[in-house]
Structure 1
Amino acid sequence: MKIVASYSNKGGVGKTASSVNLAHGLAQSGLRVLLCDLDPQGASGFYFRVKPSKKLTDERFFTDVKRFTDSIRGSDYENLDILPSNLTFRDFDVFLSRMKNSRSRLHKALKSVASDYDIVLLDCPPNLSTLSENVFASADAILVPVIPTTLSERSFEQLLEFFAETKLSKKKILGFFSMVQGTKKLHAETIARMRQDYPKRLLDIAVPFSTDVEKMGVHRAPVATFAASSPAARSYDALRHELQQRL
């Protein structure tokens, strides 16, 4: 089983949209996928029409294997299951701070389903925290959507610096450009500069800004299910393909 995190320490960059579309694409390719929504807002579960779990609360997410597995829900798509979040997930850092070996707790919880899935995809909240350190330690790859703007570029730099300071492997970080607008000169200049500065940490994929991605909330479904030929759907499929090659 491989663990892939969709993460950014900056909000509003397309992290959840990437999680949802990648989970769907990976499942369509024949892999058994679990999308684990770690964000208390529960957007991934919303897109897949899965209600928040009322059973999986407190530190039991990390300690109660049966409650963890019983909270997994099937989706409308073959090979794709969802572990929905709920508002108690906002207290994960509090629970983790009380536990011994807190940095490895997430990995231990996910090991309980290792025989059932080929890939576990984590949709992560946008912050640097004890939970995110668990994610960094557990994940085989960390997908980081980057809008080609100054603040998003700065957030990507901060993430790389954090990995260096905490002696985590930067090889896990796979950035890709998100919400790209081809008519914006700033976007083109930022992409060119960052590709030069971080040639090994950025994938070739650039997901365009698209109204089809915004319509996911209306359809409550991945882009490929209602706009399969759109540039956004093709970009997410290319991202899925490149991720599979890397793994």
Structure 2
Amino acid sequence: MAVIATYNSKGGVGKTTFAINLAWEAVQNGYRTLLWELDEQGDSSWMMVNGHQIAPTNAVNFSMGIANVRQQIRLSKFPKLSLLAGDANIRATENFLVSFAKQQRLSKLFSELEEEFDLIILDCPPGFSEANRRIMQFAHLVIVPVVPSPLAMRGFYKIRDYMRLKRGHHPPMLPVFSMVDRRRKMHKLAMEEHPNWPVVSIASDIERMTDKKLPVGAFASKSKSGGAFRELWRGVEHKLLKMLVLRKIVAPKQMENA
């Protein structure tokens, strides 16, 4: 089972947008996926369930052993895509993650979830908290949305330096330019400096996600934005398969022809 995190220490760069669209692309390719919302704002659960928003989890109960994480997982509006909603008390979530990591219970928890899921996507909150640092050390791949601006780039370099310190010179991370406006000189210069980074441009289709309460691919699959997230998922899938933490799902037609 693969664990990926969408994270940047700076807010407002598209972490939740990336998490939702990557989760949707994953299930379209047959992967049983859990979207774990670690951000207190609850945007992922608001968008990905039908009807009323699902009840938030209680991270304090997890830490005390009163509640089981698996019992809090709910189905989303899409088959094979499940959701673990965030706790409105972000401090409780951070304490839970740090406590489990220190007690080496986090690895055991993910091992248990492996029975039900092929992929877990962590929608991380902004900030450089100890909980986020633990996640950066634990996740198989950290996807970092970066707006081509000095402050967002500064956030990325901070993450890169930390991961190099903890996980070696080539840490498992994927920076992605987010909210790109190709008319802006600063954005163009940033992309020229990093020509190999994937790009997701600013677009009305992405803005419409909150109105539709759907991932882009579910209502505008043929749009440039839909294509960008589809291509991003292919790159992520390739990395995870190469790392041997994800097993390729074989479609029924492929099995018949094998």
TM-score bracket for this pair, using the shorter chain length: 0.7 to 0.9
Name the SS for the 2:235 alignment partner.
helix
Amino acid at match of 1:216: M
* C-alpha distance in structure 2 between counterparts of 1:145 and 1:239, whole Å: 12
Please report how far the alpha carbon of residue 91 of structure 1 lies from its aligned counterpart in structure 2 after TM superposition: 2.6
2:55 counterpart residue number: 53
* C-alpha distance in structure 2 between counterparts of 1:175 and 1:205, whole Å: 8
Amino acid at match of 2:163: F
Relative to 1, partners in 2 of residues 1:7 and 1:101: Cα closer, same or farther, differing over 3 Å? Answer: closer
* C-alpha distance in structure 1 between counterparts of 2:223 and 2:48, whole Å: 20
* C-alpha distance in structure 1 between counterparts of 2:100 and 2:116, whole Å: 27
* C-alpha distance in structure 2 between counterparts of 1:178 and 1:17, whole Å: 10
Which of 218, 221, 234 pairs up with 1:225?
218
Using structure 2 for the length normalisation, give the TM-score.
Answer: 0.84
Amino acid at match of 1:92: T
Amino acid at match of 1:139: A
Please report how far the alpha carbon of residue 153 of structure 1 lies from its aligned counterpart in structure 2 after TM superposition: 0.9
Name the SS for the 1:87 alignment partner.
coil
Relative to 1, partners in 2 of residues 1:96 and 1:69: Cα closer, same or farther, differing over 3 Å? Answer: closer
In terms of mean alpha carbon deviation, does 235-244 or 125-134 score higher? Answer: 125-134
Amino acid at match of 1:39: D
Q: Is contact 1:103-1:133 (8 Å) kept?
A: no
Q: Is contact 1:102-1:134 (8 Å) kept?
A: no
Relative to 1, partners in 2 of residues 1:30 and 1:65: Cα closer, same or farther, differing over 3 Å? Answer: farther
Please report how far the alpha carbon of residue 62 of structure 1 lies from its aligned counterpart in structure 2 after TM superposition: 4.7
Amino acid at match of 1:227: A
1:14 aligns with 2:11: no
Amino acid at match of 2:225: A
1:37 aligns with 2:34: no
Please report how far the alpha carbon of residue 30 of structure 1 lies from its aligned counterpart in structure 2 after TM superposition: 0.5
Q: CA RMSD in A?
A: 2.1
1:88 counterpart residue number: 89
Relative to 1, partners in 2 of residues 1:131 and 1:101: Cα closer, same or farther, differing over 3 Å? Answer: closer
Structure 1, residues 167-187: CA drift from partner, whole Å, max 9, x if none? 234421111111111111110
1:239 aligns with 2:227: no
Name the SS for the 2:108 alignment partner.
helix
Amino acid at match of 1:60: N
1:147 counterpart residue number: 147
Using structure 1 for the length normalisation, give the TM-score.
Answer: 0.88
2:71 counterpart residue number: 70
Residue identity (%): 29
Amino acid at match of 2:10: K
1:137 counterpart residue number: 137
1:199 counterpart residue number: none
Please report how far the alpha carbon of residue 236 of structure 1 lies from its aligned counterpart in structure 2 after TM superposition: 0.3
In terms of mean alpha carbon deviation, does 87-96 or 42-51 score higher? Answer: 87-96
1:168 counterpart residue number: 167
Amino acid at match of 2:73: I
Structure 1, residues 147-190: CA drift from partner, whole Å, max 9, x if none? 1111111111111122234x234421111111111111110101
Please report how far the alpha carbon of residue 241 of structure 1 lies from its aligned counterpart in structure 2 after TM superposition: 0.5
Relative to 1, partners in 2 of residues 1:218 and 1:101: Cα closer, same or farther, differing over 3 Å? Answer: closer
Q: Is contact 2:47-2:214 (8 Å) kept?
A: yes
* C-alpha distance in structure 2 between counterparts of 1:211 and 1:138, whole Å: 35
Name the SS for the 1:116 alignment partner.
coil
Amino acid at match of 1:91: A
Which of 201, 204, 212 pairs up with 2:205?
212
1:186 counterpart residue number: 186
* C-alpha distance in structure 1 between counterparts of 2:109 and 2:66, whole Å: 7
* C-alpha distance in structure 1 between counterparts of 2:103 and 2:202, whole Å: 35
Q: Is contact 1:7-1:143 (8 Å) kept?
A: yes
Relative to 1, partners in 2 of residues 1:93 and 1:37: Cα closer, same or farther, differing over 3 Å? Answer: closer
Please report how far the alpha carbon of residue 224 of structure 1 lies from its aligned counterpart in structure 2 after TM superposition: 1.0
* C-alpha distance in structure 1 between counterparts of 2:159 and 2:192, whole Å: 20
In structure 1, runs of 5+ residues without a counterpart are 196-202
How many residues align structurally?
Answer: 237
2:247 counterpart residue number: none
* C-alpha distance in structure 1 between counterparts of 2:36 and 2:133, whole Å: 16
Q: Is contact 1:103-1:134 (8 Å) kept?
A: no
Please report how far the alpha carbon of residue 65 of structure 1 lies from its aligned counterpart in structure 2 after TM superposition: 8.8
